[in-house]
């Protein structure tokens, strides 16, 4: 989608590295239909006319970026959460829905409610086979 919209040079030198860093994954794993709206299309006439003008007007001609980086958003969201409830660099290895236990590469975590933010395929791979059948029955 990026190559067809923006060409090889702009995609390889800017869009692909920037967005892979932003989304923390290979862009081939993202759904074109879902992500396409975040890459507005500029046609050739718009690009040429922007070279002729002194000012550039576009959907993102100006934007604000936090002085200390985007991490300030994460810090603000996690401010009221006890730090021992935040775990980094842990991988979910398995989830037992019946016993409400998630096993990571570091520990076992008992939970009351499980909110999933990983890809659905990864969740299904982590859920025990018997629990997977239970998901379909409920």
Only one residue has tokens 């932003």, namely 22
Domain annotation covers residue 79: no
Is the pLDDT higher at 135 or at 98? Answer: 98
What is the count of structural domains for the chain?
Answer: 2
Is the pLDDT higher at 36 or at 66? Answer: 66
Domain annotation covers residue 50: yes
The verdict on 51 and 97 lying in the same domain is: no
Only one residue has tokens 């969740």, namely 123
The verdict on 14 and 51 lying in the same domain is: yes
Domain span holding position 132: 87-137
Q: What does the pLDDT average to over 106-120? A: 88
The verdict on 93 and 49 lying in the same domain is: no
Is the pLDDT higher at 2 or at 65? Answer: 2
Check pLDDT > 50 for residue 93: yes
The average confidence (pLDDT) of the chain is 79
Domain annotation covers residue 129: yes
The verdict on 45 and 93 lying in the same domain is: no
Domain annotation covers residue 21: yes
The verdict on 93 and 52 lying in the same domain is: no
| Inter-CA distances, 49 with 2, 6, 52, Å | 22, 17, 5
Domain annotation covers residue 100: yes
| Inter-CA distances, 57 with 51, 52, 63, 98, 122, Å | 11, 12, 12, 55, 41
Q: What is the pTM of this model?
A: 0.43
Domain annotation covers residue 69: no
Is the pLDDT higher at 17 or at 135? Answer: 17
Domain annotation covers residue 7: yes
Domain annotation covers residue 15: yes
Check pLDDT > 50 for residue 67: yes
């Amino acid at each position: 989608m990026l190559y067809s919209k923006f060409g090889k040079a702009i995609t390889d030198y800017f869009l692909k590295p920037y967005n892979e860093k932003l989304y923390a994954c290979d862009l081939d794993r993202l759904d074109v239909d879902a992500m396409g709206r975040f890459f507005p299309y500029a046609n050739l006439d718009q690009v040429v006319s922007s070279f002729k003008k002194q000012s550039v007007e576009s959907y993102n001609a100006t934007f604000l970026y936090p002085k200390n980086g985007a991490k300030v958003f994460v810090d603000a969201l996690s401010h009221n959460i006890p730090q021992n409830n935040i775990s980094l660099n842990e991988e979910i290895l398995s989830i037992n829905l019946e016993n409400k236990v998630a096993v990571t590469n570091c520990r076992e975590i008992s939970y009351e409610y499980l909110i999933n933010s990983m890809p659905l395929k990864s969740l299904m791979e982590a859920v025990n086979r018997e629990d997977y059948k239970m998901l379909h029955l409920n």
